[in-house]
Chains A and B, each alone.
Chain A
């Protein structure tokens, strides 16, 4: 199917393009761009993007698709449908499935399911260690061959520094990013929210910023030692932003992501014991939120990911301590992130960089651009579209969001993945 996107404003940071252009898609690829009205349709389906932004398809570096193993929370079909609804044409899925994605067979299963059912591209992240148990390395070469674009023991950080060192060294063979959920398990203990005054009032066990910071410090040191590519997951603390900025200035090969909830909410959202505000890392203080926004502005934080973590309603309808960590994010990420543009934190081009161009570069997947010849992964955004989040209408199988009922401005109105409307 050929598509002619007319009258839109094209934002393509990879090519430094920000202008009113038409764009023609032929056979799943971007065939050409030209001045408004200059391209002929020749039977292509016409999409009128007047007043809208036409950007390279958004890429989410951090989602949990839950398949195989936890299909009651999410499947590859429902998770990628949510992605598409949220403007994402590609997602990276974390390996904490059951079984863990630590072998070629699991990666191949995920990719074959994706080929059958997915509405967006699926890039698996393989595990660092077998079973994500923090011991022996997984067969990283096999995982890479099978299609994994990075390795991570997300949610079960590698506590043994020597194991992490070897993983980073070994990953250099393939030059894939080592994706680190930075959390010192001992310091985090059995904490359930940010350590601070709110936790003190609620009587909930705290997770200090230091639980994240010491692990980032360690991983930066190991990245320097090994020369590996380190990608830091879901940054939530001001200390982490500071250390990452410092490491970058010294030339360490490090990239980092944060998530919309870390620049939209503070730990005050937990008051009332709202399990929808329970995630790991936890929502932090206002000072941390300010630092995260500044880190996005100055580029210390390369990417906005979601850490989309679906959980069933019953699992969240329990005592706060007993609820699982995590929220869904694919269908609210863009609306929340566009607020950064209105707040003057990011330009539109910077936002597209954080949500598409940089993620594509980090995983080396291609995409993230509207260059002629590139795959036609395109998101059309209406910046002015006002809408109210209604979790009951999510394409995701789960509804665990703290943003239900929020009024947001701006959303994806068309998501074209691989030239498919």
Chain B
């Protein structure tokens, strides 16, 4: 079974069945990466373009490996080497790439809606690899995959997402996805970093991190960016760490067996203590699972037909 649309632009609008199907497919791909020969021919002859207008190591590498492990030809284009520096528009760049017969274009862009803008104008499948503060669907899928793997379910799980919700595409995608999958989502951060009307998404909102963590099954920490301090959103890292940092003491309020997640890159000692990050988190499992989930997404967008191995 393929995905119902040409593109993966966001989790919003995906059904429980669709998400489950992606996660199940990812599970079947996970062992490919554990083999000696980490390759299946599922996307042989397909051309995948990583079009990244924002710096990224983890996500770009993850997509690249996912494509290569499916035997696709994968090309990376990043801003520093692209025509963007010569003043070419996003649409012109994408049309030129497509003229070389791409099948899947993976787009990361600082402007919310940029992947949707391209998806409406290109024949290629577009995968949103993070757009502005809008969505980061494959991150949410890998997060849900990881929770399901570690806790055995998503339904009824209590998830606390803590930090800069306002600027977080990861938070939005996870809120949509986890809500559809039956998880209970709590949002926590300083009011300066909570977007208007977020409670309308069916989440509970608190400024008090202890309250958010208490009884949680999953604690998901978000990266806080230093430029938010200059913009007046918080006074400094010291106070931020005190009010919204996850440390061992605070983590004890969570349910026994609770897992700690972070989409990376982490600011150790700010939103998460090294102790928690290194000894009590599933952060590296998230990264491992990211490859499998992205393999599943590319596979399903390409028609979802497995050739004989």
Contacts and interface: CB of A to CB of B under 8 A. Distances in A.
A273 B100 CA distance: 27
A273 B89 contact: no
Contacts of B114: 319
A314 B92 CA distance: 11
A273 B196 contact: no
B112 A321 contact: yes
A206 B198 CA distance: 13
Contacts of B172: 201, 203
B111 interface: yes
A1 interface: no
B113 A320 contact: yes
Interface string A212-243: 00000000000000000000000000000000
Given A203-B132, A318-B90, A318-B91, A273 B197 contact: no
Contacts of A206: 195-196
Interface residues of A, number: 20
Given A196-B196, A197-B200, A319-B113, A202 B134 contact: yes
B53 to A, nearest CB: 9
Contacts of B90: 318-319
Contact of B111 (A199, A272, A317, A320): A320
A195 B89 contact: no
**B interface, size bucket:** 20 to 34
Contacts of A98: none
B61 to A, nearest CB: 24
B196 A203 contact: no
Which among B111, B134, B197 has the greatest number of chain A C-beta atoms within 10 A?
B111
Interface in B115-143: 116-117, 131-135
A200 B202 CA distance: 13
Contacts of B112: 202-204, 273, 320-321
Contacts of B111: 319-322
Interface string B98-120: 00000000000111111011000
B89 A318 contact: yes
Nearest to B136: A203
Contacts of A204: 112-113, 132-134
Contacts of A199: 195-196
Interface string A185-215: 0000000000111011111111000000000
Which among B112, B116, B117, B201 has the greatest number of chain A C-beta atoms within 10 A?
B112
A200 B109 CA distance: 17
Contacts of A319: 90, 109, 111, 113-114, 117
Contacts of B197: 196-197, 200
Interface string B182-220: 000000000000011110110000000000000000000
B31 to A, nearest CB: 35
B294 interface: no
B10 to A, nearest CB: 9
B12 interface: yes
Contacts of B91: 317-318
Contacts of B131: 203
B285 to A, nearest CB: 27
Nearest to A319: B111
Which among A197, A199, A200, A204 has the greatest number of chain B C-beta atoms within 10 A?
A200
A203 B133 contact: yes
A195 B113 contact: no
A241 B114 CA distance: 35
Contacts of B69: none
Interface in B162-195: 169, 172, 195
Interface string A304-332: 00000000001001111110000000000
Contacts of A317: 89, 91
A202 B131 CA distance: 10
Contacts of A272: 116
Nearest to B169: A203
A203 B135 contact: yes
7 contacts: A196-B196, A196-B197, A202-B113, A317-B89, A318-B117, A319-B90, A319-B113
What are the 5 closest A-B residue pairs judged by CB atoms, nearest first? A203-B134, A197-B197, A273-B113, A203-B133, A319-B111
Given A203-B135, A273-B116, 18 more contacts: A199-B196, A200-B197, A201-B172, A201-B201, A203-B132, A203-B133, A203-B134, A204-B132, A204-B134, A206-B196, A273-B112, A273-B113, A314-B89, A318-B90, A320-B112, A320-B117, A321-B110, A321-B132
